[in-house]
Structure formats: structure tokens, C-alpha cells
Amino acid sequence: MKAIRDNARQKMKKFCRVCKVCDGRVCAGEIPGMGGLGTGASFKNNVSALASLHLNMRLVHDITEPKTAITLLGYELALPVLAAPIGGVAVNMDLGVSEEDYNLSVVGGCLDAGIVGCTGDGVPPVIHEAGLAALTLHHGCGIPFIKPWEGAELDEKLEKARDTGCKAIGMDIDAAGLLTLRRRGRPVAPRTSQQLADIIGKVHAWGIAFILKGLMSPRDASLAVEAGADAVVVSNHGGRALDHTPGTATVLPEVVAAVGGRIPVLADGGVRDGGDILKMLALGADCVLIGRPVSVAAVGGGREGVARYFETLGDQLRQAMVMTGTPDVRDVSPSIIHGLNG
């Protein structure tokens, strides 16, 4: 991983320092780039919310080979982890890597590691086209995310996503705040419950599940369930959509309570190692997504770099499970977090 990170540091130097801990401090406000919006508080809060949680060690048990596999919306995953959708790293940052190759590295590397990758969306069109092409090449083994476009663009892109053969399509509704897209004549917008239900009904009619990403409140999560979503992602877009939000780990338990087990709850933002994955699961997430570190692995090591990164995370997760006495990722006790009961 060191060689991969060193290589990425060289290629990404104008946009990402590949810091020892990717926590949003050095890159605050750097958009385009890998930073968080404005002061970078939302990105930094994601990392600090996880860092403020501490794991209890429990060694008096017989768990040596914890189970890490889950099934999520028809996808079999060796780890409760997905590569988050990241659009435009290559095309917007001039890294000497094409958007096509970047997406092939992410989608292919995830499959090599026994999980699946998500693909992103944006302007210019090569962003969604490269993601969808990588998914099509891998027989739909991944999840395309489409932005909440206004007008015909949404339907056109949902149909293109369908044609990859995927089992689920996501929408990052928190992209509704990206005024840059509106200024470029490509408006995105929030959606009412009824509009969401209509979109979800259309996707369901194709036999495809629908994931709503970018929710930070119990209210929105409940409305998503009522509109028919098959999963939600607690996310603040890695701190890129609104400055000054809490960290995702802070709001996750309230969202999980509001959803009440009706659909899976996913979460992302600041997840950096196996311990962080386990913390999110202990707070009630069924699966996590990881963003920036996957970009670093893909730029620095291509498909192999991505696979290696997730293998490392799997080792860390298994170790953390043994050390906390956790037998199965599908049933992680909140009591493994110091100060929480369960």
C-alpha cells in the first residue's frame, strides 16, 4: 500500500496530498479537488465523529474466524463495504489517468476483492458514461448513482443505468445543492415525496432496487422508506454538499431508529480502516461506503491497488472483530463501543 500511496501522491499532487490520515484538514475548501466545501467542517466532522468513538476489547471468547459476508439488495459481498460513487476524479483533475480507466480500476478491483463498486455522475458526460461502461463490461456487477437532474436528463440517465444490467440504481439526492451544475446549465434539484415515489416506481417496474443517498435526518429517512426506497445512505457527500453538518456517525443512530429495520441503512464519510467499519456497524449501519481512499488506491495502483486496499481493510476488520468479540458483521453489538449499552 505504501508504493501505491506514493505513486498516487505524485499523480494527484495538485489536488490531494494523500495525507497519512485523510481527514479533510489540509484540503478544506478545495473543490474541484478532494476537499470538503467551505471551511471543510462537514468532512472533518465525519472523521472526528468516528475518532471520538472507542472500541472495547473483549478477549474471553472462542471467536477466531468472524463472518464478514453480507447480501445487500441481491449483491453478495465478502465485506460489508462498497466503493462509494466518485465522479470526475480523472477528468476534472488531470491526473494522467482517463475517466474510463479510473472506473474500470474501481469496478474491477472491487470485484477482485469480493465486493462491488458504485459509479458516479456529473458534468461533462464522460463521467457517467465511463462509469456505466465499466459496469456494463462487468455485467452490471456494481451500482450506478445518478444525480437528481431536472427534466428529461434524469429519465435518460436512469434508463442508461438500467441498461448496464445492475440490480440496484442509486440517486445522490444531496447533489441538489450543487449550484455549480445549475450555473453550467445542468440543474439538479431536491424532490418531494411524491416525485420520489414516481421515480422509484419507474425503477421498480424494471425489477431494479432503488437506493437514496445523501440523507442526514430521521425525517428524510422515514420519507424515503414511505416513498418506496429499498435502502438509504446516511451521507453528506463527504462534506461536499453543505458546510457545517454533523459527522455522519453522529446522526446515524437516529436515522437507524427512524428506519426501524424496514430497509437496509448504509453510511459513509470518514471511514478509513477496519475499526471505522466496525464502529459504523455498531451504530446500526448494515454496510458502509468508502470514497477518497479508494480514489487514491485506484490512481496509485489501478485495479490491483483497489483490490489490495480492500483486502487490507478486510484483514483489519477481521482483527477488530476478534478483538471485540464480534462473531458476525450482520449482528454487531453497540456495546463494543465504549460507553454505549447494547
How does DSSP assign 180-201, residue by residue? HHHHTT--B----HHHHHHHHH
Catalytic residue among 54, 139, 204, 237: 237
Residues 88-147, interacting with ligand FMN (CB under 6 A)? 88-89, 120-122, 145
Give the binding-site size for ligand FMN (rule: CB under 6 A).
25
Q: What is the DSSP letter of 149?
A: B
C-alpha cell at 303: 485495479
Answer yes or no: 237 catalytic: yes
Per-residue burial over 25-34, b = 16 or more CB atoms within 10 Å of its CB, e = otherwise: eebbebbebb
Q: Which is nearer to ligand FMN, 5 or 213 (CB)?
A: 213
**157 is a site residue for ligand FMN (CB under 6 A):** no
- Stretch near ligand FMN under the rule CB under 6 A, chosen from 96-104, 198-206, 288-296, 307-315: 288-296
Q: By rule CB under 6 A, what string of x and - marks binding of each residue 173-212 to ligand FMN?
A: ----------------------------------------
Residues 8-67, interacting with ligand FMN (CB under 6 A)? 34, 46
Minimum distance from CB of 146 to ligand FMN (Å)? 9
Residue 297 is which amino acid?
Answer: A
Of 213, 214, 211, 232, nearest to 222 by C-alpha is: 232
45 φ, ψ (degrees, to nearest 5):
-65, -35
How does DSSP assign 91-102, residue by residue? HHHT-SS-HHHH
Q: What is the separation, in whole angstroms, between the first and last Cα of the chain?
A: 36
CB atoms within 10 A of CB 17: 12
Instruction: Give the containing element (helix H, strand E) for 244.
Output: none
Q: Which is nearer to ligand FMN, 294 or 325 (CB)?
A: 294
**291 is a site residue for ligand FMN (CB under 6 A):** yes
- Stretch near ligand FMN under the rule CB under 6 A, chosen from 87-95, 101-109, 185-193, 253-261: 87-95
Q: By rule CB under 6 A, what string of x and - marks binding of each residue 235-254 to ligand FMN?
A: x-xx-x--------------
How does DSSP assign 291-341, residue by residue? -HHHHHHHHHHHHHHHHHHHHHHHHHHHHHHHHHT--BTTS--GGGBTT--
- Stretch near ligand FMN under the rule CB under 6 A, chosen from 185-193, 197-205, 284-292, 308-316: 284-292
Tell me which of 66, 108, 247, 270 binds ligand FMN, using CB under 6 A. 270
CB atoms within 10 A of CB 190: 13
Q: Compute the distance between CA of residue 332 and CA of residue 342 in angstroms, rounded to an integer.
A: 10
Q: Is 222 annotated as a binding residue?
A: no
Q: Is 271 annotated as a binding residue?
A: yes
**213 is a site residue for ligand FMN (CB under 6 A):** yes
Q: Which parts are annotated binding residues for FMN? A: 213, 235, 268-272, 291-292
Q: Which parts are annotated binding residues? A: 213, 235, 237, 240, 268-272, 291-292
Which residues of this chain interact with ligand FMN, rule CB under 6 A? 34, 46, 84-89, 120-122, 145, 172, 213, 235, 237-238, 240, 268-271, 290-292
Question: Annotated catalytic sites, by residue?
Answer: 237
